[in-house]
């Protein structure tokens, strides 16, 4: 018959191995993390992309959009947009004549998997300015302007410019602040809105779109980068290595 180890030795080794196994299992769990802020996206004018602005850049041009910060305590995002807008600092509707008699500022739209989110810059259709909403779809420029199928004209008719207000769910309250810059772009619009956990966890790897006006005459789009958090598979390999080291130490003893 083999020798029996003292109960204290068996119990001690078991506890050490169990601890290592628990650590390894914990390390294999997926981790959610946000990228480093600020995230700045620029939208250069005609010198870089002649097709950037359709029409008058003094009315429609977007200079940049930045996800400036995230407060983990209050779960609030701050977004800064620099643009020219024909309706001025009040973000009022404006007209350029013809079929374009009621142009409004677009929503900040975010896309995360199958989820679509919208932050309106002005209150409309029962949606409050600055608040974060989960929406069931988007409206194109043509739809928001109420134009017919044959009215494509000098704009981007199929650009997504608004989140659909029907069945929209409010996720967090927010504010919109607009100031005059006096620079090449005449407005700075600051959005400050609260988000829920689902939005925050899906923010990494999502994408966004913003139209300076509901005609879609200028758009800025981008993708949110992933953070430098190791993949679950990497954690699993590290955890397995720790367990192996623990077993080797036990044999050596």
- Tell me if residue 32 falls in helix, strand or coil: coil
Digit-coded pLDDT (tens) for 219-230: 999 999 986 555
Digit-coded pLDDT (tens) for 61-96: 999 999 999 999 999 999 999 999 999 999 999 999
Instruction: Locate the domains of the chain by residue range.
Output: 7-30+231-252, 39-223
How much is the average pLDDT of 53-68? Answer: 94
The total number of residues written for the chain in this structure: 253
pTM equals 0.78
Q: What is the helix (H) or strand (E) element at residue 145, kind and residue range? A: helix 141-145
Digit-coded pLDDT (tens) for 191-210: 999 999 999 999 999 999 99
How much is the average pLDDT of 234-240? Answer: 48
Q: How confident is the model at residue 42 (pLDDT cuts 50, 70, 90)?
A: very high
User: How far lies 197's CA from each of 48, 161, 164, in Å?
Assistant: 38, 25, 22
Which residues have a Cβ under 8 Å from the Cβ of 241 and sit 6 or more positions away?
none
Closest residue by Cα to residue 199 from 120, 113, 137: 113
């Amino acid at each position: 018959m083999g020798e029996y180890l003292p109960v204290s030795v068996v119990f001690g080794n078991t506890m050490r191995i169990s601890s290592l196994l628990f650590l390894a299992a914990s390390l294999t769990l997926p981790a959610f993390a946000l990228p480093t802020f600020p995230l700045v996206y620029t939208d250069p004018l005609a010198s870089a992309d002649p097709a950037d602005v359709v029409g008058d850049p003094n009315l429609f041009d977007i200079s940049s959009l930045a996800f400036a910060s995230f407060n983990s305590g209050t779960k609030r995002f701050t977004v800064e947009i620099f643009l020219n807008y024909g309706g001025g600092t009040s973000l009022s509707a404006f007209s350029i004549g013809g079929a374009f008699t009621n142009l409004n500022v677009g929503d900040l739209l975010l896309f995360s998997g199958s989820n679509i989110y919208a932050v309106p810059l002005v209150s409309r259709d029962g949606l409050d300015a600055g608040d974060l909403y989960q929406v069931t779809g988007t409206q194109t420029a043509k739809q928001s302007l109420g134009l017919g199928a044959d009215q494509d004209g000098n704009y981007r008719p199929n650009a997504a410019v608004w989140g659909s207000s029907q069945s929209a769910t409010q996720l967090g309250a927010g504010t919109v602040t607009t100031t005059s810059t006096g620079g090449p772009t005449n407005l700075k619009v600051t959005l400050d809105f609260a988000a829920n956990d689902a939005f925050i966890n899906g923010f990494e790897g999502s994408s966004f779109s913003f139209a300076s006006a509901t005609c879609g005459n200028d758009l800025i789009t981008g993708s949110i980068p992933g953070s430098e958090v190791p993949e679950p598979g990497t954690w699993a390999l590290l955890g397995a290595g720790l367990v192996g080291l623990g077993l080797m130490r036990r044999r050596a003893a």
